[in-house]
Structure 1
Amino acid sequence: MPPTIRFVRLPQIDPGLIQAHMSDPRVAEHMPLLTGAWDADTVAQFVATKEACWQRDGLGHWAILADGDYVGWGGFQKEGEDWDFGLVLHPDRFGLGLRIARQALGFARDDPRIPYVTFLLPPSRKNLGALRRMGADYIGDTSYGPETFRKYRLDTA
């Protein structure tokens, strides 16, 4: 039986779990903006930054639980006019990605503020079939800081 997926706010998660997750080198492989070691201060700053998005935009990133266990984080962040969707799972739970994304995107479809979502993927991501199956369209490359990302868009209407 597939696990029950729930979204909760990041402050509800033990900071040590987030630190261990974000310190895993397998996570960093596909996160070119992830530099340096994660310690308690880094986690606190990360959580505060993500919570500020909730305060500013009324939406942000969640911690993701599978049968009550922390498996990663993800959600929506306002980037200019775009609502960008991101998902960062523990490597042992990568297989839940499509299921979690579909559940989160269902939330976006029910929110009239979100006519579409964007996805920014680093060039290291080679398996993009799931995005295509969901109906996302490649719209071009974009720079974020010093890195280039492939940008996709999915209409939610």
Structure 2
Amino acid sequence: MNPSDWGLRPLVLDDVDAVHAVYSDPETWRHFPEGVFVERERSVALAERAERDWRESGLGEWAVTVRGDVVGTGGVSPRGGWWNLGFRLAPSVWGHGLGTWVASVALGAAHRTQPDWPVVARSMETNPASGRVSEQAGLERVHVEPWADGPAGIIHADRPLDRRLLAEIVALG
């Protein structure tokens, strides 16, 4: 897969069918099977939130494309004084560096848009590839939260987080 074929553009409602194809694929949720989007309305809500974030914050989630085809989503979303970094890509594009590229571009965009806000990525110990992408993009592991009924949650950030914000992020699960 050639990086010159990769692209990003703001995620919009017109992308819902392609986004739902990725988010409803159980393989993209191998590390968290309960997360599969069964209802298309969840994909609609994701796109609507992205449109609102772009409108209100000047930055939000992108549609990730390869040769013009939407293969997932990624980027940062505003969360009340911090940026949430995330991505979900079709399994057919895994292992080529696309996730790291998306995360790196998003980190730079977040720093330009609202440099005072920390950039935070949340992952699960059962998905070590996600944590590696966060680290390759420039984030550091700042917290591991053992869960009583499942795998530990891992928090990466671009800077140390104060206790209040860390507690808020941990509470998100």
TM range (shorter): 0.7 to 0.9
TM-score by length of 1: 0.77
Whether contact under 8 Å (2:123, 2:154) holds in the other structure is yes
Q: Deviations over 1:30-68 (max 9, x none)?
A: 3566255132x3322221122222233332111111221
Compared with structure 1, are the counterparts of its residues 65 and 114 closer, same or farther at alpha carbon in structure 2 (3 Å cutoff)?
farther
Match of 1:152 in 2: 156
**CA deviation digits over 1:91-121, x for unaligned, max 9?**
1112221122222223233334355311101
- Supply the distance in 2 between the matched residues of 1:138 and 1:62 (Cα, whole angstroms): 24
CA distance, structure 2, for counterparts of residue 11 and residue 33 of structure 1: 25
Residue identity matched to 1:78? P
Asked if structure 2 preserves the Cα contact closer than 8 Å seen for 1:13 and 1:70, the reply is: no
**Partner Cα distance (1:36, 1:99) in 2:** 25
Structure 2 portions without partners, runs of 5+? 160-173
Partner residue, 2:7: 6
Gaps in structure 1 of 5+ consecutive residues: none
Q: Answer whether contact 1:13 1:63 (CA < 8 A) is retained.
A: no
> Greater relative contact order: 1 or 2 (C-alpha under 8 angstroms, separation 6 or more)?
1
Which of the residues 141, 144, 152 maps onto 2:144? 141
Write the letter of the residue equivalent to 2:142.
Answer: I
Q: Which residue of 2 aligns with 1:34?
A: 35
TM-score by length of 2: 0.71
Question: CA 1:100–1:37 in 2, change beyond 3 Å: closer, same or farther?
Answer: same
Letter in structure 2 aligned against 1:140: H
* Shift >4 Å, 4+ stretches: none
Q: Distance in 1 between matches of 2:37 and 2:12?
A: 22
Higher-strand-fraction structure: 1
Q: What secondary structure sits across from 2:121 in the alignment?
A: strand
CA-based RMSD of the aligned residues comes to 2.8
* 2:165 match: none
Q: Retained in 1: the 8 A contact 2:19–2:71?
A: no
Distance in 1 (alpha carbons) for counterparts of 2:25 and 2:93: 13
In 1: Cα distance, 2:154 partner to 2:52 partner: 26
3-state SS of 1:49 partner: helix
The share of aligned pairs that are identical, in percent, is: 24
Identify the structure with the greater helix proportion: 2
Q: Distance in 1 between matches of 2:47 and 2:75?
A: 13
